Structure 1
Amino acid sequence: MDNAKTAYEAILGLAAEMVLDEAVLKFRTERIYRAIDSALVEGDKDTFRRLAEELNALRH
């Protein structure tokens, strides 16, 4: 019974980690999109390129 409980706790821990990772990724992606929008409005090509690269890195 202890092995089943240990396995269950490990699976729950992994699931929690996956949910947290997804939430962090979503937060970072949304932050980058907002910053890209601002860079476009301001005409800041360097910032736009840097943020676009950062966004592409998150996707891979």
Structure 2
Amino acid sequence: MDKIKVTYEVMLSLAAEMVWDEALRKQRYQQLYSEIDNALAKGDEVAFRLLTDELKILGK
């Protein structure tokens, strides 16, 4: 019985971590899009390229 409980707790912990990671990823996507928009508005090509590169990496 204890082994089942430990297994359940580990699986629950992993599921919670997956939800947390997805929430962080979505937040970073939103932040990147906002920063990319700002870079475009300012005409900052260097920032635009750095941010879009990070967005590409995040999408993998």
Structure 1 length-normalised TM: 0.96
- Over aligned residues, Cα RMSD in angstroms? 0.6
Question: Percent same amino acid at aligned positions?
Answer: 50
Gaps of 5+ in 1: none
Gaps of 5+ in 2: none
User: Where does residue 2 of structure 1 map in the other structure?
Assistant: 2
Q: AA paired with 1:20?
A: W
Moved over 3 A (4+): none
2-side partners of 1:8 and 1:50: how far apart?
A: 42
- Does residue 51 (structure 1) correspond to residue 40 (structure 2)? The answer is no
Shift of 1:42: 0.8
